[in-house]
Each structure stands twice: as C-alpha cells, then as structure tokens.
Amino acid sequence: MDTESTHSGYSYHSSRSGRSNRHGDRSRERHKASSSKDSSRSERSVVINPPDTPSQESPVHNGEPLPGEPTPAEAPGDDGQDDNWGETTTAVTGTSELSISQEEVVGLGKGIQDRTQGFRRYLPLAVGLCVGLLVLATPLVFLLLPAVMWPDRLQACGAACEGLFLSISFKLLILLVAIWALFLRPGRASLPRVCVYRAFLTTLTLLLTMSYWLFYGVRILDAQDEDYHGIVQFAVSLVDSQLFVHYLAVVLLELRHFKPSYSVCVMRSTDGETRHYNIGQLSIQRAALSILEYYYRDFPVHNPALLSASKHRAAKHLAGLKVYNVDAPGSTAGAQPGNGNQSRAMVTAAAKRKDNAHNELYYEEADYERRVRKRRARLVVAVEEAFTHVRRMKKEDEQASPSDIMDVREAALAIFPSMARALQKYLRTTRRQHCHSMESIQKHLAFCLVNNMSPKAFLEAYLSPGPTLQYGPERWMADQWTLVSEASVTSGIKEGTEFLLRCLDFSLAVTVKGIPYIRLTEEYIDAKSHKFLLLLQSETSV
C-alpha cells in the first residue's frame, strides 16, 4: 500500500523481540487503545501506533540511557500473529503525503473513539452535577413559584415561616457541601462497569424529586393553594428527605467499605511476591481498585531482568529432553544399531544434564551472592568517601573563596563522578540499572545533601527495590490493567472469589477469604487468687 508511516523513536524499543510474540500481541493491543492520539494529529498519513510508554524491557529515561549502557539494538518487527492486520500497517516507504488510503478512514474513526474515551471519564461528574443542581434548585423553585404566580392571594406567615426559611437555607448549604464532598470529586479511577449503588442512589434521588414535583404540581400549582406556611413546610420536608438520602449514600458508598470482612491474598505471577490485605464489603471492581492502590504502595517494582535466569533453566531443561532421530528409519538398515546407540547416548546425556541442573543452580546462586556482596562493599566505601568531600557551609566559612561555595545541585554534580562507577556496577550486577537514570540519581543525591542524610541513607534507595510509584511514570502502567473475572464485576466479593488483574508482563492473582467469626469469651480472675507454692529439693548430709 502506498502509505506513509511515521515512527517515533519508541517503536524501535517496543518491537524488540526479546519476549517475542507475547509482547508483540500486547503492543498491538496497546495500539488499538492509543492509536487515536496519533491519528488525530495528522489526517493525511497513517501512523504506526507507538505505545504511550516504552516497554518494560527497554525503557529509556529522557532519551538517555545510563552511561556505559549498550544502546539497544534495533530488532526486526515481529509480525507473527497480527490480529488487527486491517487497521495498522508497517510499511516504511517514502511516498507522497497526498495519498489517502483505507487506513486513514479507519484512523478518523479512531479519533472519534478517543473523544468518547475522554467523555466517559467525566460522565459521572457531569451526572453528579446535573442531579445536584436539580436537587438544590427544586426547593427554591417550590418556594418562589407561589410568590411569583399568585402573590396577592398568598397568606403572609410570620415568625414560623422565617424560621423555616432559615432552616431551609442552612440545610441546603449543608446539602451542597455534602454533595460536593461525596459525588463531585474528580474520580481517581475509571472502572469497567457502573457502580450499582451509585446508580441506585441516583435513581432514588430522581424518583424522590419527581414525586415531590408531581405532588407539588397537582396539589399546589393546580389548586393555587394560598397557605404559604404549608408550602414552606412542604419544601422543608423535601430538603429533609434529600438529606436522609445523602446519609444513605454515605453509609452505602463509604462506611460499608471500611469494616474489614475479607482477607485477600494477592500474588504476582512472575516472581511470586505475595501480600495479604483486609478489605470490607466491596464489589469486585472496587476491590480490584483498592488492591491496585495497595499494589502501588507495597509491592517492589516488577523487574523482568531478574526472571531471565529461570527461563534459561527451563529452556535448557526442555532442550535436554528432546531426542531426535535424524536418519529416516528404513534408509540404512546397517546404521540402525548405530542410531540406537546414539539416541541412547543422548538420553543418558540429557539425564545427566538434568541431574546436574540443581548443582549448577546452587553454585550459580552462591557465586551471584558473592559478586553482589563484593560490589556492595565497594559501593558503600565509595559513597562514604564521596560524602566526606562535601560539607554544609557554616558561618565561619563565609571567608572561604567563592569558587568553593556552591549550591546543592553543583555539590551533587561535583561528588557524583567518584561514586558513579561503583554505583553503576552494583546496579548492573543486581540488574536494576534500567530503573535509575543518571539524572534521577543526581536528583536523589541533591535531596540527601539538602536534608543532611548519611551515606547509608542515600544508598538505601538503590540497595533494595522500592514500590512502583517511587520510580518514574513510565513504570506505572496505570492504564494497562485488565480485570479478568468469572463472576460479574459489579457483584460483591464473597468467600472464595478469585479474579485476575492483568498488566502487560505479569498478572496479579487475587483470592478472597472471609475473616472468621471470632467468638470471644471472658474469664474473670480475682486478683487475690494468684497464689504460689515453693518447691524445694534440698539435700542434707548426715
């Protein structure tokens, strides 16, 4: 096809076939979701839809990898199983920009989809605003309409009405603040299905308001009631009912979730990290949301580089088991016993390799431990030495030459080179070099200098992997989660519920168990009942 396709630099990295087909499928799924952004940019060319974020395997930070890091090689794109072959193209031909092709039409359609995605995010807010306005305006309208439509026939009511006006105004103010606090906050997540309780409450509110309007229309507007006191009381009762509905909303939407009734076990599929949490009565999607928030707080960041060792072992294991018979069975009858011997030899070799696998693993791990400890020792010494070169300026140093006085950024840059090499080697050994860029390390160093931290405190960030949020946004992948569940996601969690939260490279398996019903009994002990015996064993010589 004669199309122009634009690459961004990221697509090279994303199509690396390190984890070939699986990754390729994922990147195509991402293409579908994020293609619209690019297509809306240029109407005349179809773009290869790059992912929004670089992949986990080969991220780049601000375009610069760590010094000494080998630049990622360009790998050929993997076009193995392309489910969306009709929607994307990978042709790189330098043709004119004037050609329009079928894909562009599809791309326009994707532009519309993108706008609806944004719309969906603000839909709950819009609905909340509309219902809130209706709820707040209705009592005021109830009060104003008689005064506007038949003012001469209205009976003036004195202090009682004024009291009721005051109470209406304060209750409306409270209702306004309460509605804002509960419903009009920006949503912190977008869930796959509508929350059942929210829909129920919205319906209830609308029903209530509509029934009040009905009664108002029939009894008051049609009949042109003159008793203003009664009308005001009618409006006050509406506001009261709305306040109670809001109370119900607080109980259903907020309070129910706090009392812990279930204990969930969350396990990451790649490295088996497991955590347990207590959550309350929630729907599956809300529970998934809570668990994801806990995930971002508690789980150490996912590091695919640490999993390659076990994959190699698995690959070797599989390779050792295959025994090929290269020669065709009937070709040379004389070579048959030779073939039998050969295959037997291969089987025994494979068996021996299997026996040695645990040996290899043991020595490999011991060696790795030793290497890590050696590098760590060098790193600690280098950092401590670097920190001795810098000191906070005191009063008496003001006479020092101005070239020695520097601000924190310059100080960090000055002492960074002496520890950079040791740090980089350590990170390479523990396979975490892609989590930290040079700039982030310098920034952290400046932060530690400003807050008078010790070298050990500075190093802690690099010695152990922290939670995912500590690293840059390209690691978060907050928009890539999929909830996989056999039960409907708006149903509540029960004992034995299981579901899966799938991200790109890994998934979180969640199992739910109920917290047992605890029966606590009491036992009264009188303080005087603590009595003791002395046990002797004496030996007397006679």
Please report, as ranges, the residues that interact with another protein according to CB under 8 A. 535-542
Would you tell me the crossing angle of helices 228-253 and 159-183 to the nearest 10 degrees?
20
Q: Please state, in angstroms and rounded to a whole number, the distance separating the CA atoms of residues 507 and 433.
A: 23
Amino acid at 539: E
Q: Please state, in angstroms and rounded to a whole number, the distance separating the CA atoms of residues 63 and 189.
A: 29
CB of 537 to another protein, least distance (A): 4
CA angle, 130 then 134 then 139, to 5°: 165
523 vs 539, beta carbon nearer another protein: 539
Q: Please state, in angstroms and rounded to a whole number, the distance separating the CA atoms of residues 127 and 134.
A: 11
333 vs 534, beta carbon nearer another protein: 534
CB of 533 to another protein, least distance (A): 9
CB of 528 to another protein, least distance (A): 25
Q: Please state, in angstroms and rounded to a whole number, the distance separating the CA atoms of residues 104 and 317.
A: 48
CB of 539 to another protein, least distance (A): 5
396 vs 539, beta carbon nearer another protein: 539
403 vs 540, beta carbon nearer another protein: 540
Put residue 67 in one of left, alpha, beta given phi > 0 → left and psi -120 to 50 → alpha: beta
Distance of CA 299 to the CA centre of its chain: 11
CB of 529 to another protein, least distance (A): 22
Q: Please state, in angstroms and rounded to a whole number, the distance separating the CA atoms of residues 35 and 52.
A: 9
326 vs 536, beta carbon nearer another protein: 536
96 vs 538, beta carbon nearer another protein: 538
Distance of CA 456 to the CA centre of its chain: 30
328 vs 536, beta carbon nearer another protein: 536
148 vs 533, beta carbon nearer another protein: 533
CB of 530 to another protein, least distance (A): 20
CB of 297 to another protein, least distance (A): 54
CB of 531 to another protein, least distance (A): 17
CB of 522 to another protein, least distance (A): 33
CB of 288 to another protein, least distance (A): 59
- E-only strand ranges, 374-415: none
β-bridge mates for residue 263, sequence order: 278, 513
Q: Please state, in angstroms and rounded to a whole number, the distance separating the CA atoms of residues 39 and 418.
A: 47
Amino acid at 358: H
Cα dihedral 293, 295, 297, 301 in deg (nearest 10) = -140
Reduced to 3 states, what is the DSSP secondary structure of residue 203? helix
403 vs 537, beta carbon nearer another protein: 537
Would you tell me the crossing angle of helices 408-429 and 455-463 to the nearest 10 degrees?
40
CB of 538 to another protein, least distance (A): 6
Count CA atoms within 13 Å of residue 107 on its CB side: 23
Of 204, 49, 228, nearest to 151 by C-alpha is 228
Burial class from Cβ neighbours inside 10 Å (0-12, 13-18, 19+) for residue 135 reads buried
Count CA atoms within 13 Å of residue 273 on its CB side: 16
331 vs 540, beta carbon nearer another protein: 540
Burial 20-33 (b: 16+ CB within 10 A, else e): eeebbebbbbbbeb
